[in-house]
Chains A and B, each alone.
Chain A
């Protein structure tokens, strides 16, 4: 059995799993308010529940990706982490900020913009945490490893761009931008779109890292093609965000650039199809590994969501899908289907390395429940989006409340399958959390903790 270096990295992962479960509970409560409007409205109104849900799920993605990177550097790569103290400060800082954000939502103390609803001053310690992560990462890596494989580039640029775009999200505090409504809205969505791209750098970097390690094939992270797709992804992160605001009256050139850049993602789609055809005769031994199965499923979700994203990056289609649940289907498909599946693969990879005798059959069942529920949930969102788009563009005089009433059964199904996702995730995460807690108590786990 391996010993775990940097137990704080495991704390990041355990906290991330708790955030995921909390995020799912808040999601279900939000879904209940869709069909029972008065449900716990006095205690947790929807304007609190939604940020609780969104922030918890974002916390899951970020904490798990960051924890994984902190884990892989000293454990798999045998690198000496620059500072275990900085890592601990980073963890406890994020934990305290997380609790402060929850408190602000519970008391209704908002003030930020969508997705970052907490009072703006809380962003300062968050940025400081990212700075600590950046220092630790680059001080650990620079000069120690030559000719970085693509996943190190992805993690490195993910940290820098995350810090940059989180700062950019607060440019609205500048009077020149705050006083100009459309400009402020555009920059808000520029920052938001790009910080999602930044965490994708951390998560997709983890996926390539895992694939290289599972297959024992170092070339996966070093070949030219990997770098081509890395730079293509980075270009989309930088310039592709404006497909979120095609319909907002900004200067047309901003939207032209986004249209052109977004269409380059067709290359990724065609490449995926080509690669799948090639990789069919995979070794059975690898195919049966659970983290590998998770990665393959993440590929399926990438495929489905890429098609959706490509379609609504075409302005003529976006015109009808914007402002509908079709956009939500895409964000749920990417955060749950892609990000969560990759991160669960990462968690399982770490856990099985440290405790190979963990019972995986139970987790496999949870994985099936999770994927079937997610597919049905995703389809419900698409149906709700089509219904809303039809109401917006092809009906006249039907009030909003009537359209919502007509969609009642879609929302009921949406809640049902959302609960299915929660059950699936519960079946996956509970044994993992139990293993983490048990492994923590093993004597000698801190033996290799760096000073």
Chain B
């Protein structure tokens, strides 16, 4: 199989990730549940993982790195910590349902800072206009999960600091690919999955908490600390980590983060961008294919959407699957992004590349699309 769905989850994991998961099953129990060796081995590994993430994202302390089930879980904590029921949030036009559904559940008033694809200047201008006195939070993904558009989060963060509005960054598509310096950004929260660019197992996520962010637990329960009290502990990470940790998952995530740091973000990102740019060039040469690609290397990461007037995206995706190519089709859980880009009625086919993909696989994708469209006409 040619796997081109790394924006959903990275399927090709480093061998070290699998080995770490197996080792955790064999050697570790649960952190914070005892002082015996199996519990302390788990605790040491979990702290190692926090520390690796602290260094990767340049966070002040490891306690600010909170483990979650996935990015959706992390985003729910972040959104519900900052936006009260019927509060006001400003979001980009490319947000995922993991942001819009919690806001809907809060009955929040949402202003969409709408801007065209791959236009960072208009994106910042839209946020500048949308943020008003009384805005409870600004929420923006670093990279669109549909189009790979790398949004100008540094400028948006500067704007939020200037207006003193807390910022939530959804780093689902950028963690392990693009640099995010939390000390510079000053975001209240940065949410990410462990199982995409960070190469960890499914069921892992991370929430990085800013130093003064208000923290509202989504789950209450045992933390292995202050257990005589019924209030959740007021300190991190315990406040946001109720219940038993996903130790095998975090062990795999630690191996994944080490893999990413050893390769280097720049090398990983350049490879993925190169593959996306090659795919864009190849698909543009196929008659009847519309490709959503930015100008220049920095506008986009390794996520590429396309569609054809000759065949609907889902059928095209199914035909690619029959040829052994895995892509994602439809609305990608991001109807807002499709509305903003004008692709809501059809959806798109999305090919998303990882460090493990090759140029030969890109050529095969282009060739397969060409074959399918030729058969259609």
Do A and B pair up? The answer is no
Q: Spell out A's residues near B (CB within 8 Å).
A: none
